[in-house]
Chains A and B, each alone.
Chain A
Amino acid sequence: QVQLQESGPGLVKPSQTLSLTCTVSGASISSGSYYWSWIRQPAGQGLEWIGRIYTYGRINYNPSLKSRVTVSLDTSNNQFSLKLSSVTAADTAVYYCARADYGGYFDHWGQGTLVTVSS
């Protein structure tokens, strides 16, 4: 059974860098044809795709966030991570990590973690 779990600080100061890690169990992030992805959801709003990294290393980001986002894999710990720089209050949201099948759908999600940007 594939499970994903986000972890990281719940509070980040404005202008700093938000850093989150997603730990995957029940599957290896270094095998299979999957995209390991980050998605966020501000309170009361819809879902926004942030970025993805393919099992074999190819990376894509949402153009609206591209200048501030880095997604990377840590195959030794079966984790992948998100870094979002120069955060503002507009980056306050629940952040989800998710696995996407090569067909482009998110078949497994983490439970989500709330990150608040505030001084």
Chain B
Amino acid sequence: QSVLTQPPSVSGAPGQGVTISCTGTSSNIGAAYDVHWYQQLPGAAPKFLIYGNNNRPSGVPDRFSGSKSGTSASLAITGLQAEDEAVYYCQSYDSGLSGWVFGGGTKLTVL
């Protein structure tokens, strides 16, 4: 059971958009700790996608965006492409655990 809750799967057609949610509690996201997002392609290590809730590292397309409100955060992907098919993870800090926590991951299928 992950500390941060994500839907197991989402799907969308090429060109469409999807949103992946990440729900936490008052000891992590709700405590104003930043949320970060990672993309894990099959057989590969995770790659960091969004940091500090809504910032993209260089090289990440602007089709990817993040937001945060209250005890939840979201990753939005617009203009879906086949290469976006991957598992996406959110991550934050938890004051009760005094450490970093991840969501369980969301598998994105591009139909």
CB of B70 within 8 Å of the partner chain: no
B45's contact among A46, A62, A111, by CB below 8 Å, is which?
A: A111
Minimum distance in angstroms from A20 CB to a CB of chain B: 15
B98's contact among A37, A63, A103, A112, by CB below 8 Å, is which?
A: A63
Mask, B3-31, CB within 8 Å of A = 1, is 00000000000000000000000000000
Within 8 A of B (CB), among A30-72: 37, 46-49, 51-52, 60-63
Residues of B within 8 A of A105 (CB): 34, 36, 48, 51-52, 91
Bound complex: CA A62 to CA B2 (Å): 13
B104's contact among A46, A52, A63, by CB below 8 Å, is which?
A: A46
Interface size on B, as a range, is 20 to 34
Q: Is the interface of A mostly helix, strand, loop or mixed?
A: strand
Interface size on A, as a range, is 20 to 34
Interface, chain A (partner B; CB < 8 A): 37, 46-49, 51-52, 60-63, 96, 100-101, 103-107, 109-112
Interface, chain B (partner A; CB < 8 A): 2, 33-34, 36, 38, 44-48, 51-52, 57, 89, 91-93, 97-105
